[in-house]
Structure 1
Amino acid sequence: MSYGLEETSSNKVFHGTLKKYSFTSAALGGLKANFNLFLPVNADTEHKVPLLVYLAGLTCTEDNGAQKGGFFGAASSEGIAILFPDTSPRGAGIEGEDADWDFGTGAGFYLNATNPEFAKNYNMLTHVTTELPAVLEQSGQPIDLSRQSIFGHSMGGHGALTLYLGSKTKQYRSASAFAPISNPSQAPWGHKAFSGYLEGGIDEGKANYDATEMIAKTKESVHILIDYGTGDNFYKAGQLLPENFLKAARDAGHDEVQVRVRSQEGYDHSYYFISTFASDHVHFHANFLKA
């Protein structure tokens, strides 16, 4: 299959290159999709580099993490590529997809929709885990797809944890998250997303897309790092629930070496918080991507 990949911009950053691409996405129902790709200076056809996937949060695009995340210095020093997908399909024309900021456009929740109204276009799980790696491979990018890890923020943190824990082929070596929606079946954002995208509603979401439920059933060794801020208003409102994830992980036998959840005093939900701990997360993944 030919994706018709088009390079739309290129910028030099930390001695490497950040490029934006556009292509026609089959997973998203034939709509145009954009992504950013950072390649460190040491990446070439003779020296393929590992890949770290960054999933952004509600209302974001493929640009937020690239422009504000502060990941490139550490990624450059470690010789790691970073892929920045979009957060949803764009322009599907489904009634109600633009009615609210936390559902529809900019809020794909990194699942595959089963509600017939959304099932043609809202397949972000397939887009991220299968389609984008195929696009990178077909276009000859100097990336070693046998070495992938994943991280994200808020809704993207939910995505990173669930895609990591749900990977039957062990696609990702490690996962980390900034202020993730850790237990969406118990949070208002999750209720809204699962009720809208999934034919089976909250029950289907709880079974397939809830990181707390998933870690409780995971017996294999895992590599997970989570940071959240005590000054985060979404944390205070019960949207994130990282303590539920931590308890489920400990109850399942995952110690602090396998699952580390850090509360960061006074930090909020913004990219000021993310950029403060960005290098920690990149170096965390480097331990597994370069092993």
Structure 2
Amino acid sequence: MKQLSSNRCFGGLQNQYEHASGVLNCTMQVSVYLPPAALQGNVVPVVYWLSGLTCTDQNFTTKAGAQRVAAELGVALVMPDTSPRGVGVADAPDAAYDLGLGAGFYVDATQGPWNSHYRMYSYTVDELPALVESALNLGPRRAICGHSMGGHGALTIALRNPSRYVSVSAFSPIVAPSQCPWGEKALTAYLGNDRSAWTVHDTVALIEAGAAQLPMLVDQGTADNFLEGQLKTPLLERVCKRKGYAATIRYQDGYDHSYYFISTFIEEHLRFHAQHLNAL
């Protein structure tokens, strides 16, 4: 990895790197926070953060205020970009914010022109961890969390790979992309019209199908403009109750979809993950 920047932060380092991705067939950027424990030569566990529509690796890095708590807990933070980028990478013809650049939806596209680059599932699950954990002496214990589209990514990736993550959390996740406009648009473009191919990228469908139990925390703001039309948190509540899936789902009164919401509760999420990352 080529280091692009490095800033001292709460005794650790907030770094940004660039690397060639064979999975995505382009150059990618990723931000990593290394806590003081990592700089002292210790192997530290990792929390992966997946951001939402229109975001890059920098949104959470600069807005969430997570580094202070990560430094205290001795966990690294890894923040990838939300889609492939660069010359030749397909984008929505109308430059829409909910498809193409900044909107990879953490799936492996099977439909053209997206399938040449848009393989964010394999990148997030396999290529990126293998790269950063080896290069920076991190892991092997890891957790995953995210926001909105990234909350969808975190939940579905963890449910499909319970042996790879000790816990999962999400802010305002798209819990049923098969049943909302954002999800239907993206999954049709990337995966085609066969809805049976969508179910492995749908949290509600995965739990309905019997996904293994994993420590799960979900926070949703009651003043979120996208709650009813796009996020559909009640569907997650109902399927968890029906299937006996022990998720903690909290509604936070008056909070919206913004990073003000995330920055308010990110400490609780990191402490939630640390309990499981440090369990023997």
TM-score bracket relative to the smaller structure: over 0.9
Q: Does the 8 Å contact 2:91/2:101 carry over to 1?
A: no
Q: For 1:182-230, what per-residue CA distance to the aligned partner results, in whole angstroms no more than 9, with x for missing partners?
A: 111010000000010003444321x210001111223532210000111
State the aligned residue count.
Answer: 278
Q: Is structure 2 residue 9 aligned with structure 1 residue 16?
A: no
Residue 143 of structure 1 corresponds to: 138
Which of 36, 44, 51 is 1:49 aligned to? 44
Residue 212 of structure 2 corresponds to: 220
> How much has 1:46 moved relative to structure 2?
4.4
Q: Is structure 2 residue 168 aligned with structure 1 residue 172?
A: no
> How much has 1:74 moved relative to structure 2?
1.2
Distance 1:251 1:222 in 2: 16
Residue 272 of structure 2 corresponds to: 284
Go from structure 1 to structure 2 and tell me whether the alpha carbon gap of 1:72 and 1:95 turns closer, same or farther (over 3 Å shift): closer
Q: Is structure 2 residue 72 aligned with structure 1 residue 77?
A: yes
Q: For 1:56-113, what per-residue CA distance to the aligned partner results, in whole angstroms no more than 9, with x for missing partners?
A: 0000000000000121111111100000000000123426366201100000000100
Residue 189 of structure 1 corresponds to: 182
Greater fraction of residues in helix? 2
3-state DSSP class of the match of 1:239? helix
Q: Does the 8 Å contact 1:98/1:105 carry over to 2?
A: no
Report the identity percentage: 41
Unaligned runs of 5+ in 1: none
Q: Counterpart of 1:270 in structure 2: which amino acid? A: S
> How much has 1:47 moved relative to structure 2?
1.7
Q: Does the 8 Å contact 2:159/2:212 carry over to 1?
A: no
Distance 1:219 1:154 in 2: 21
Residue 118 of structure 1 corresponds to: 114
Q: For 1:263-290, what per-residue CA distance to the aligned partner results, in whole angstroms no more than 9, with x for missing partners?
A: 0111000000000001010000011000
Q: Counterpart of 1:180 in structure 2: which amino acid? A: P
Q: Does the 8 Å contact 1:97/1:105 carry over to 2?
A: no
> How much has 1:136 moved relative to structure 2?
1.5
Go from structure 1 to structure 2 and tell me whether the alpha carbon gap of 1:67 and 1:112 turns closer, same or farther (over 3 Å shift): same
Residue 197 of structure 2 corresponds to: 204
Q: Counterpart of 2:62 in structure 1: which amino acid? A: Q
Q: Does the 8 Å contact 1:182/1:244 carry over to 2?
A: yes
TM-score w.r.t. length of structure 1:
0.92
Distance 2:254 2:151 in 1: 19
Q: For 1:237-259, what per-residue CA distance to the aligned partner results, in whole angstroms no more than 9, with x for missing partners?
A: x20011101111111112xxx30
Distance 1:40 1:13 in 2: 9
Q: Does the 8 Å contact 2:110/2:191 carry over to 1?
A: yes
TM-score w.r.t. length of structure 2:
0.95
Q: Does the 8 Å contact 1:23/1:32 carry over to 2?
A: yes
Go from structure 1 to structure 2 and tell me whether the alpha carbon gap of 1:38 and 1:56 turns closer, same or farther (over 3 Å shift): same
Q: Counterpart of 1:155 in structure 2: which amino acid? A: M
Residue 239 of structure 1 corresponds to: 230
Q: For 1:112-167, what per-residue CA distance to the aligned partner results, in whole angstroms no more than 9, with x for missing partners?
A: 0011321120000111111111212442x12122x000000000000000000011
Go from structure 1 to structure 2 and tell me whether the alpha carbon gap of 1:98 and 1:33 turns closer, same or farther (over 3 Å shift): farther
3-state DSSP class of the match of 2:114? coil
Q: Counterpart of 1:260 in structure 2: which amino acid? A: T
Q: Does the 8 Å contact 2:30/2:78 carry over to 1?
A: yes
Alignment RMSD: 1.5
Distance 2:91 2:137 in 1: 40
Q: Counterpart of 2:206 in structure 1: which amino acid? A: M
> How much has 1:45 moved relative to structure 2?
7.4
